[in-house]
Chain A
Amino acid sequence: GENVEQHPSTLSVQEGDSAVIKCTYSDSASNYFPWYKQELGKGPQLIIDIRSNVGEKKDQRIAVTLNKTAKHFSLHITETQPEDSAVYFCAAGRGSTLGRLYFGRGTQLTVWP
């Protein structure tokens, strides 16, 4: 099955700085890569996703890049704010066939004011 690895497990940045979280996957058939933000006591909230026919996608301060050859994808958050503090999960799936998602172990992002 698919194996998703996520790094780092914890990340601390100063408000206004950028944060980068990286994930690798093992199954070359995976073609859908969402990122979720989970705040304490809440369910994961989709923040951005990318499909394998696209190399990069941006939504305001958030961007995701995908390198299919190397089987890795990254989340970039610019101009971080204290409210960005949460656990971030990357996931991989075969969006065209099965709906299951394989998640990384998460990154605890802390943004200090």
Chain B
Amino acid sequence: ETGVTQSPTHLIKTRGQQVTLRCSSQSGHNTVSWYQQALGQGPQFIFQYYREEENGRGNFPPRFSGLQFPNYSSELNVNALELDDSALYLCASSLDYTDTQYFGPGTRLTVL
């Protein structure tokens, strides 16, 4: 086990709704990265937070937003959900932004 936890495990939403996913980093890690993994694909980078500041963003629209808190836990928020947002959302924590990333178990989001 990596020590990275995510909640909830599964989530079902309808198109147009908003969702918040949560991640608790491994102890001592100040960096969290979020990835979207569609079925049968590799994870795709959404964004990264380092010491509460965004430190890079992938090719995702602004309706994907995030936060990192002083205890280094993190949230991923998605507004105006679309059917294509259905995926496994993974967070990964690392000691700092140059270091090895350790993934949590993911949150399975289904948009109907």
Contact = CB atoms under 8 A, between A and B. Distances in A.
A95 B98 contact: yes
Contacts of A101: 33, 35, 43, 45, 101
Given A36-B103, A99-B98, A100-B48, A44 B55 contact: no
Contacts of A4: 42
B103 A45 contact: yes
Contact of B2 (A45, A96, A100, A105): A45
Given A98-B55, A98-B56, A103 B101 contact: no
Contacts of B4: 43
Question: Contact residue range for chain B?
Answer: 20 to 34
A105 B105 CA distance: 19
Nearest to B32: A99
B105 A100 contact: no
Contact of A49 (B31, B100, B104): B100
A97 B56 CA distance: 10
Interface of B: 2, 4, 6, 31, 33, 35, 40-45, 48, 50, 55-56, 58, 90, 94, 97-106
B47 to A, nearest CB: 8
Nearest to B102: A46
A44 B43 contact: yes
Contacts of A103: 42-44
A106 B33 CA distance: 20
A82 B48 CA distance: 35
Contacts of B6: 43
A105 B4 CA distance: 23
Contacts of A34: 100-101
